[in-house]
Amino acid sequence: MTTRAEFLDRIRGAMRRAPGLVPAAAAATPARPRAEVDAIRRELAERWPGALEGFRREFEGVGGVFHRVAALADVPQVVAGLARERGVRRLVAWHPGALGGDLAAALTARGLDVVAMPPGALDDPAARQRLRAQIADAELGLTGVDLAIAETGTLVLRSGGGRPRSTSLLPPYHVAVFDRSVLVESLRQAGVVLESWHDGGEPDDRGAVTSFITGPSRTADIELTLTRGVHGPREVHAIFVDKEIRG
Amino acid sequence: MSPDELAIPFRERAGRAMKDAFLQEALTIATTKFIGLRREAFEVFPDGEALRDRARQIKEATLQRLDQHVERLVARVEARGGHVHYATTAEEARRIILDIARRTGARMAVKSKSMATEEIHLNEALEAAGVTPVETDLGEYIIQLAHERPSHIIAPAIHKTKGQVADLFSRELGRRVAADPEELTRIARAELREKFLQADLGITGANFAVADTGTVVLVTNEGNGRMVTSLPRVHVAVMGVEKVVPSLTDLMVFLAILAKSATGQKLSVYTTLVQGPRRAGELEGPDEFHLVLLDNGRIGQLAGPLREALACLRCGACLNVCPVYRQIGGHAYGHTYPGPIGILLTAMLHGPESVKDLAHASSLCGACADACPVRIDIPGMLIALRREVAERKIAPWAERVAFGALGRLLLRPALYRAAARLARLAQRPFARDGAIRSLPLGPGAWTGARDLPAVAARTFQERWDALDREGRA
């Protein structure tokens, strides 16, 4: 088996033999990502309505459905309406701590079966298996959002405690709730935010996966016919909440 | 492609493809559509050209310090509890993955689309070891049911009709299904959903890996990449070592141009950033994460004539614009990677003798270099490959003799003029409408796939001399 040392030696040997190379530099990474994120946020304190409009346009352009409500307490009504129209009732939701509020009671009162995710891991494999089956069986997944990118209409979700990966993946309908605190204008700004997430110590409840979601799951693999929901959700809804969720 | 099929000469494979009416139509529709989508995506993206230059710069800078970036990537992946393996050859890569499968007692592996695992012929090896590989990208799933190989880097099943897909599904399910893309997609979702939930092993490629953070990045439209990295208890990512990028900031530059070049989307639907196995506090995700770094001819090219090809993002844009690919499709190339870039990658993997015919499967029109998001000089490298094929005497002897003679002729003007006059007489039985479409005997092999312009009734030199005389008169 090739060892790391052999592999790296071979790379170094080839690099030494490489003929006259032109000078080239990778992109400059932000020196203090957190400070730069703060600066972006300050700029967006004025500009965010434009960014939100851009997000809506792009998100709809990729087949997403955009909603806007005044406060988090208005979300259950929208979700219940969506569920009713689609004839679904089994719902899985991020843990209230991850979502920014406890919506389970209000959703249950509107006739939905709600399974809220536990705040952390489950040690018992049987319990874990049961929960996985529940997520796989659910018809609608309700999640928060860690970053919304206007340039591309993208929702970025980080996995972690109370926010399992498959809640935005296995159910055929995905509803994500966000506010202006997670909104950025461009992929470039999103890059700064990503860098800031790796800047120094990370909160312990963050998982191993960051998912960029740009519209519903799609394929065009059979005669280039666009089809939605091949593996992931066939519909993605983004509910913008005017009053900051954690305000 | 099986060795049997590779035994068929390229010319014959290409000729067969050109007689396949459905393939011809499918290729035209697909490549024309991709070209249009790509053009529109860049038209509304003013930063596009500058970002292409930056992306190329980043690739070059990364290759110049590849050892440091790989070291950093390895350290970060291991710090997150992942394991890194080093494969010099395809055979070694297969052995590493089979070892992981054996040790973890895996019976079924779900795979998201990966050219690297195609390149190492992993599926056959898994099957032989008693592990069932299941391709989960819809196009790859179709190809797997048909026991074929992908014909396009990003649209592996474009050569199949919906009727053929329906036949394949019907055979697999043991019941008749309709030839309707919506319905076929629904069936694939249901079939593959079960596999995702049952599989022990998830196998992916990697579009990028970020050295700074030890993050492996997967780009998909269907969501199968997310399934494969979240549901099975072991995740193995197989990646060509050149795919490392230094930082997340660099990654965003590539993401901004990759999907636009491939499908005309601003971003593909899912970009999945994976940092090692499931973390403490996480409900889901694999217990084990393995990254297999693949050399297989790449590292030598850091100092080789194909170095530029190490910048390739595998977007497929050069296939769509290539007049040869558009005529013959991916299978005729006979190797894992089709199209203009595929010729270079084939030479990288298997040496220049493997492309002695393919090196000529290009009109050198330059459309590929224009379409390439990182501006790889594909025609330049194809010319260099042709030279190497000629110099190493692996080209057919008749071709070498003919071009050697032509070379000597071009150096002697008087002889050249005499030869032109002679050719004008000799071509009479063969020339029609200014072109020679077929020649007998030996030269016939050459005109089999090409038209030769006939020697004009008056050559340029003769007309020039005449004009010159008139001018002086």
Please state the rounded mean pLDDT for residues A71-77: 98
Q: To 10 degrees, the CA torsion angle through B77, B80, B82, B88?
A: 10
Instruction: Kindly report the nearest CA distance between residue B224 and chain A, in angstroms.
Output: 6
Higher pLDDT, B2 or A168: A168
Spatial contact of A57 and A185, defined as CB atoms under 8 Å apart? no
Q: How far A14 CA sits from the closest chain B CA (Å)?
A: 5
**Contact yes or no for B185 and A220 at CB 8 A:** no
When the pLDDT of each residue in chain B is averaged and rounded to a whole number, the result is 92
From the number of C-beta atoms within 10 Å of its C-beta (0-12, 13-18, 19+), residue B445 rates as middle
Q: Is A218 on the interface with B (CB under 8 A)?
A: yes
CB B317 within 8 A of CB B38: yes
Q: Report the gap between the CA of A110 and the closest CA in chain B (Å).
A: 28
Q: How much is the pLDDT for B2?
A: 52
Q: In terms of CA atoms, which chain B residue is nearest residue A127?
A: B283
Contact A92, A135 (CB under 8 A): yes
Characterize the bridge pairing of strands A147-149 and A154-160.
antiparallel
More confident residue, A202 or A198: A198
Nearest-angstrom CA–CA distance, B155 and B299: 28
Q: Based on C-alpha coordinates, what's the Rg of chain A?
A: 21
Residues of B in contact with A216 (CB under 8 A): 269
Instruction: Please report the residues numbered 132 through 161 in chain A whose beta carbons come closer than 8 angstroms to any beta carbon of chain B.
Output: 132, 136, 151-154, 159-161
pLDDT grade for A78, boundaries at 50, 70 and 90: very high
For residue A4, being part of any structural domain is answered with no
With cut-offs at 50, 70 and 90, classify the pLDDT of residue A205.
low
CB contact under 8 A, A217 and B222: yes
Could you tell me what percentage of chain B is helix, strand and coil, using 3-state DSSP and rounding each to the nearest 5? 55, 10, 30
**What are the structure tokens assigned to B345, written together?**
């990658």
What is the structure's pLDDT at A162?
Answer: 95
- In this complex, which of B57, B61, B281 lies closest to A160 when CB atoms are compared? B281
Could you tell me the CATH number of the domain that includes residue A108? 3.40.50.10420
Q: Which structural domain range is residue A144 located in?
A: 31-241
C-alpha to C-alpha distances, B100 to A1, A7, B80, nearest whole angstrom = 14, 20, 19
**Three-state SS annotation for chain A:** CECHHHHHHHHHHHHHHCCCCCCCCCCCCCCCHHHHHHHHHHHHHHHHHHHHHHHHHHHHHCCCEEEEECCHHHHHHHHHHHHHHHCCCEEEECCHHHHCCCCHHHHHHCCCEEEECCCCCCCCHHHHHHHHHHHHHCCEEEECCCEEECCCCEEEEEEECCECHHHHCCCCEEEEEECHHHEECCHHHHHHHHHHHCCCCCCCCEEEEEEEECCCCEECCCCCCCEECCCCCCEEEEEEECCCCCC
B291-332 pLDDT, tens digit each: 999 999 999 999 999 999 999 999 999 999 999 999 999 999
- What DSSP letter does each residue of B194-234 carry, written as one string? HHHHH-SEEEE--SEEETTTTEEEEEESSSHHHHHHHSSSE
- Is the CB of B58 less than 8 angstroms away from the CB of A10? no
The angle at the Cα of A188, spanning B84 to A213, to the nearest 5 degrees, equals 65
pLDDT at A61: 97
Q: How far is the C-alpha of A174 from the C-alpha of A233, rounded, in Å?
A: 6
Beta carbons of A2 and B256 less than 8 Å apart: no
Q: How close, in Å, is residue A46 to chain B by CA atoms? A: 24
| Tens-digit pLDDT profile for residues B16-30 | 999 998 889 889 999
Specify if A119 maps to a domain.
yes
The pLDDT of A22-28, averaged and rounded, is: 89
Report field, pTM of the whole predicted structure over 0.80: yes
Q: Flag the least confident range among B24-28, B285-289, B436-440, B461-465.
A: B436-440
The answer, for A15 touching chain B at a CB cutoff of 8 Å, is: yes
Please give the CATH architecture assigned to the domain spanning B50-296. 3-Layer(aba) Sandwich (3.40)
Report the C-alpha dihedral over residues B458, B462, B467, B470, rounded to 10 degrees: -100
Q: Please tell me the predicted confidence (pLDDT) of residue B431.
A: 81
Instruction: Please tell me the distance in Å from B146's CA to the nearest CA on chain A.
Output: 14
Q: Give the number of other Cβ atoms within 10 Å of residue B353's Cβ.
A: 12
pLDDT at residue B1, rounded to an integer: 47
> Using a CB-CB distance cutoff of 8 angstroms, which residues of chain B are in contact with residue A19?
303
> Hey, CA dihedral for B296, B299, B300, B306, is it positive or negative?
positive
**Alpha-carbon dihedral of residues B250, B256, B259, B265, nearest 10 degrees?**
160
| C-alpha closest to that of B33 among A222, A224, A226 | A224
Pull the structure tokens for residue B94. Answer: 């297969």
Buried b (16+ CB within 10 A) or exposed e, B47-83: ebeebbebbbbbbbbbbbbbbbbbebbbebbeebbbb
Helix then strand count (H, E) for chain B reads 22, 13
Q: B423 pLDDT band (50/70/90 cuts)?
A: confident
Q: Residue B404 gets which letter from DSSP?
A: H
Task: Give helix B162-173 / helix B138-145 axis angle, nearest 10°.
Answer: 70
Q: Tell me if B200 sits within 8 A of B166, measured CB to CB.
A: no
pLDDT band with cut points at 50, 70 and 90 for residue B44: very high
Query: What pLDDT was estimated at residue A202?
Result: 58
Q: How confident is the model at residue B436 (pLDDT cuts 50, 70, 90)?
A: confident
- CA–CA separation, B219 and A194 (whole Å): 17
Note whether residue A102 is domain-resident. yes
Position B442 scores a pLDDT of: 66
A5 reaches B (C-beta below 8 A): no
Q: Provide the token pair at A122.
A: 């489950």
Nearest Cα of chain A lies from the Cα of B21 at a distance, in angstroms, of 15
Sequence-distant (≥ 6) Cβ neighbours of residue B178 within 8 angstroms? B166, B184
Question: Do A220 and B155 make contact, defined as CB atoms within 8 angstroms?
Answer: yes
Q: Do A223 and B26 touch (CB under 8 A)?
A: yes
A198, B274: Cβ pair inside 8 Å? no
A121 touches chain B (CB under 8 A): yes
Yes or no: say if A27 and B247 are a contact pair by the CB < 8 Å rule. Answer: yes
> How far B415 CA lies from chain A's nearest CA (Å)?
40
CB atoms within 10 A of CB A218: 26
Contact B27, B327 (CB under 8 A): yes
The predicted structure's pLDDT at residue B392: 78
In chain A, the number of structural domains is 1
pLDDT in tens, B202-256: 999 999 999 999 999 999 999 999 999 999 999 999 999 999 999 999 999 999 9
Question: Which one of A57, A230, A234, A236 would you mutate to disrupt binding with B, by most B Cβ within 10 Å of its Cβ?
Answer: A230
Helix (H) or strand (E) holding B174, with range, is: none
- Best of B145, B283, B292 to mutate (most A CBs within 10 Å, chain A): B283
State the smallest CA–CA distance between residue B249 and chain A in angstroms: 5
Burial class (CB in 10 A: 0-12, 13-18, 19+), B345: buried
Contact list in B for residue A15 (CB cut-off 8 A) is 64, 66-67, 302-303
List phi, psi (to 5°) of A154.
Answer: -105, 140
For residue range B137-158, list pLDDT tens digits in order. Answer: 999 999 999 999 888 888 899 8
- The Cα B164–Cα B150 span in angstroms is 15
Averaged pLDDT for residues B375-398 = 87
pLDDT digits (tens, 9 = 90+) for B176-208: 999 999 999 999 999 999 999 999 999 999 999
pLDDT at A204 (0 to 100): 58
* Six-digit token string for B77: 């992946």
B267, B268, B299: residue with CB nearest A11: B299
| Cβ contact B270–A30 (<8 Å) | no
DSSP B2: -
Q: What is the DSSP string of B313-366?
A: ----HHHHH-HHHHHHTTGGG-SSS-HHHHHHHHHHHH-GGGGTTGGGS----S
- Looking at residue B135, what is its pLDDT? 97
> Residue B420's CB: how many other CB atoms inside 10 A?
16
Given a cut of 80, whether residue B56 has pLDDT beyond it is: yes
Domain with CATH 3.40.50.10420 in chain B: 50-296
| A160/A211 Cα distance (integer angstroms) | 12
- Please name the residue that has the structure tokens 């993997």: B349
Contact A225 B269 (CB under 8 A): no
| Alpha-carbon gap: A160 to the closest alpha carbon of chain B (Å) | 5
Q: What H or E segment, with its residue span, contains residue B125?
A: helix B122-128
Assess contact for A163 and A157: CB atoms under 8 A: yes
**In A, which residues are within 8 Å of B87 by CB distance?**
2
pLDDT value at residue B415: 86
Mean pLDDT of A124-134: 92
Residue in A122, A217, A225 nearest the CB of B283: A122
The verdict on a CB contact (< 8 Å) between A221 and B271 is no
The verdict on A129 touching B (C-beta cutoff 8 Å) is no
Note whether A42 contacts B: Cβ–Cβ < 8 A.
no
SS3 B180: coil
Burial of residue A87, with CB atoms counted within 10 A of its CB: 0-12 exposed, 13-18 middle, 19 or more buried: exposed
Per-residue pLDDT, A201: 62
Of B29, B88, B285, the CB nearest to A165: B285
pLDDT at B100 over 80: yes
Map residue B85 onto helix, strand or coil: strand
Rg (CA), chain B: 25
Query: Is B285 within 8 Å of A209 when comparing Cβ atoms?
Result: yes
By Cβ distance, the residue of A191, A216, A233 closest to B249 is A191
Segment B363-378, tens digit of pLDDT: 999 999 999 999 999 9
Distance from CA of B247 to the nearest CA of A (A): 7
* Contact status, residue A48 vs residue A145, Cβ threshold 8 Å: no
pLDDT (mean) for B105-119: 96
- Chain B residues lying within 8 Å of A155, measured CB to CB: none
Substitution target in B28, B67, B212, B282 with the highest count of A β-carbons within 10 Å is B282
* Rounded average pLDDT over B399-427: 83
- Chains A, B: CB pairs < 8 Å: 276
How many angstroms separate the CA atoms of A131 and A95, rounded? 13
Question: B223 and A231: CB-CB below 8 Å?
Answer: yes
% of residues, chain B, pLDDT over 70: 96
